Structure 1
């Protein structure tokens, strides 16, 4: 991987973690009622940021949204847009304008519409549907779709029961571990070699404990620097390695609560998800419920990562118990 791509991934994921933490904070504040999307003063060219910061969908002004509906940056690589919280009493009651996207596009020149959506064809599609966000998101992998504050905060609430500050710290630790490994380096500070990336889904807790035959001793799921190193740079055959994009996607896989199985032979909790950039493969996350690492006075279950071909999926799950909420 080139140094430029490595830097881009590290910077973008750190910024994404920061904005997600802010979304969680705003969603849980009774004082914050609306959020304004503000572009950087050094924004270089017309793109999707202009739409999110410029459309008036709720009669509150350009780029101002009820907080639950506000889009959360990162809108594109190296995006520098910010969410500015506004407080109760600063704005009137929001009223959705269903034609806002179409009116916004019609107020632009053709080349501006094409820049915002990526092409004239996509701009024309957005004009026809009147839904810029849906057309834009349809071009993006799930991890990079633009989500509202409510959607992001909901995921973070599932991912782990931490306050917004701790949430951001764990995200930054996770992203820093990956960034260093992509650069061929390791973090020597032991306190920064492990990051929480998820938790045991509460709705499956009783079922898991019944299958396990004992109480769970922790809710936290963590990943170690060593596991990420072997997953990305190890000497396993290439088809078993996970890409950096798949590693970055682990918290989302754990948060989605889909395709979770229990291996009674090994007491492993298993998650499956399609690889982001190699769709013929499936990412396989195993959590050994017999093994605990204690870090910072807390017990953590540790994950291991691998990958296998789609064609092997049915045989892999044949003897497993699928968890049902």
Structure 2
């Protein structure tokens, strides 16, 4: 009998050692992957976290947890979305997955991926549990890739791809552009720098790049008044206005751009004078897919009129008018 008891105790000890080793491996893997496990009792909202979740929220490991305090780490919109899908999952006895931004207890911003499943007893939900993973690096990399894909590295403005997505409402991959509707365009303004080629030819491309950076800073002032400000070519820029922008307001902004570009640019102790011509096309039906060509017609007329001017497409291919109504033929 004693031998059998000793044998059973040896088996139990071996199993306990294996379990402890498994937990140690799991903890190390979870920490390496920045994945922690959490549970919430639905009866009293009490929480249980593994160490990695404490680390993600920058709370001391093992400290007392309060769900209400934890929810304060989420921005209001995210908190409302989390509560909504959590309630739905509990109602449906299912689960959910959500990427959410948090502000840790130390004030640092992080992105986490929450996965959850609802556990039921006799058909009634009793607890919700799952994993939380720190995906800040993943989100940062995705944002960097999006920035590279949609923004001009020299000026910081949107690039041609983003501009085309905005005026067409469809990205190059054929999916709807984020936050963009095909009927959301009121006007397109094209801006072409005058005498910029002379700067590159006479002073070099480094000075030319510095000039473009300053142009980008000046045009960035239009961001609050428009849907998109982009560099779409070497010295060509574009501004997209929503349908709420009045024609008169767009014309005033076009004239303001001309005046803004008349100011000298200081580069390496030099005062460089360039200038800009502006062409504007207004949408008749709220769609922007044809406006680029119309605005280009108006821009051509502005340059033909002596540069440093604003011209508006009048609705007929090949013609544009000045804001005062004087016609300009593309010739």
Instruction: Please confirm whether the aligned pair reaches a TM-score higher than 0.5, indicating the same fold.
Output: no
Relative CO higher for 1 or 2, CA cutoff 8 Å, sep ≥ 6? 1
TM-score of the two chains, using structure 1 as the length reference: 0.24
Larger Rg, first or second structure (1 or 2): 2
Higher fraction of strand: 2
